[in-house]
Amino acid sequence: METNELLSLDTFPKRYEACFLENCAVREDCLHHLYFKLQPASNTWGDAIFPSALMPENLINGCCRMFHAKRLVTCYAGFTHFFDEVRRKDLPSLRNEVYSYFRGRSNFYRYGNAERGYLYTQSMADDVKALFMEYGYNEPKYERTFKSIVFYE
């Protein structure tokens, strides 16, 4: 599946920064620039990346620090059976640690439902698996796996 096929304004998270810097060397591979290109002509304001991003003191390895490459990664969703294997005595503390990892219970459910911009990636799955392993459990069960473009890492 081509990454450009997945891109529309609806796939980007709310308040994603647009980059309109035409002199950037990596603009065609950057999600921020692609987001700008998808904007309708009627849109006249929003969050943006400033031209100072291309100043030498703001570059990282010769590239804008806001550069975010478009690439497909494996994501997981469906947390209905996330804690099924956990014993009752471990459930409250493990659940609290998992909720803390996701920065709250509501975010846990957003990632579980793969809401707009909330994608549970392999690196996150590895972190949560480590939490489960500390308690002596295997990694949690997910209901579906899919490929998607990740906007925040």
The CB density around residue 34, as the number of other CB atoms within 10 Å, is: 20
d(CA 67, CA 122): 21
Averaged pLDDT, 3-8:
61
44 and 90 both lie in a single domain: no
Averaged pLDDT, 20-34:
85
99 and 36 both lie in a single domain: no
Considering 35-39, 71-75, 139-143, the range whose residues carry the highest mean pLDDT is 139-143
**Looking at residue 150, what is its pLDDT?**
74
Higher pLDDT pick, 97 / 150: 97
The CB density around residue 39, as the number of other CB atoms within 10 Å, is: 13
41 and 91 both lie in a single domain: no
34 and 94 both lie in a single domain: no
Q: For 7-21, 29-43, 64-78, 89-103, which range has the lowest pLDDT when averaged over its residues? A: 7-21
85 and 114 both lie in a single domain: yes
Question: 34 to each of 10, 133, 145, how far by Cα in Å?
Answer: 13, 40, 26
Residue 1 pLDDT > 60: no
* Final residue of a structural domain among 43, 64, 85: 64
118 and 143 both lie in a single domain: yes
52 and 92 both lie in a single domain: no
**Tally of structural domains, the chain:** 2
Residue 3 pLDDT > 60: no
User: Which residue range(s) make up the domain with 13?
Assistant: 3-64
**Looking at residue 76, what is its pLDDT?**
92
120 and 141 both lie in a single domain: yes
Structure tokens at 39: 């904007």
55 and 89 both lie in a single domain: no
Averaged pLDDT, 93-113:
94
* Final residue of a structural domain among 34, 64, 94: 64
33 and 99 both lie in a single domain: no
Residue 2 pLDDT > 70: no
**Looking at residue 4, what is its pLDDT?**
55
* Final residue of a structural domain among 11, 43, 64: 64
The CA-to-CA distance between both ends of the chain, in Å, stands at 21
Spell out the residues 6+ positions from residue 115 whose beta carbon is closer than 8 angstroms to its own. none
44 and 95 both lie in a single domain: no
Averaged pLDDT, 129-150:
91
111 and 143 both lie in a single domain: yes
